Amino acid sequence: MPDQPSLSPQESTADLANLPPSAKLVAKTLEYEGDSTQSELAESTLLPPRTVRYALTQLEENGIVSPRISFMDARQRIYSLRLRDGHRIGTDARSVPIHRRPNGIQPG
Kindly tell me if the per-residue pLDDT of 42 is higher than 70: yes
E strand spans, 1-108: 36-37, 65-69, 77-81
4 in a structural domain: no
22 in a structural domain: yes
- The span from the CA of 25 to the CA of 5, in Å, is 23
CB 31 within 8 A of CB 90: yes
pLDDT of 69-106, one tens digit each?
999 999 999 999 986 555 544 434 333 333 444 555 55
98 in a structural domain: no
Closest CA to 7 of 27, 25, 26: 27
pLDDT class of 16 with cuts at 50, 70, 90: confident
53 in a structural domain: yes
50 in a structural domain: yes
Kindly tell me if the per-residue pLDDT of 32 is higher than 60: yes
DSSP element (H, E) containing 84: none
The predicted model gives 9-15 an average pLDDT of: 57
Q: What is the CATH number of the domain that holds 82?
A: 1.10.10.10
The count of domains in the chain is 1
Question: Strand, coil or helix: what is 21?
Answer: helix
- How crowded is residue 73: how many other Cβ atoms within 10 Å of its Cβ? 11
- Domain span at residue 74 reads 9-93
Kindly tell me if the per-residue pLDDT of 35 is higher than 60: yes
| pLDDT value of position 54 | 98
Kindly tell me if the per-residue pLDDT of 8 is higher than 70: no
101 in a structural domain: no
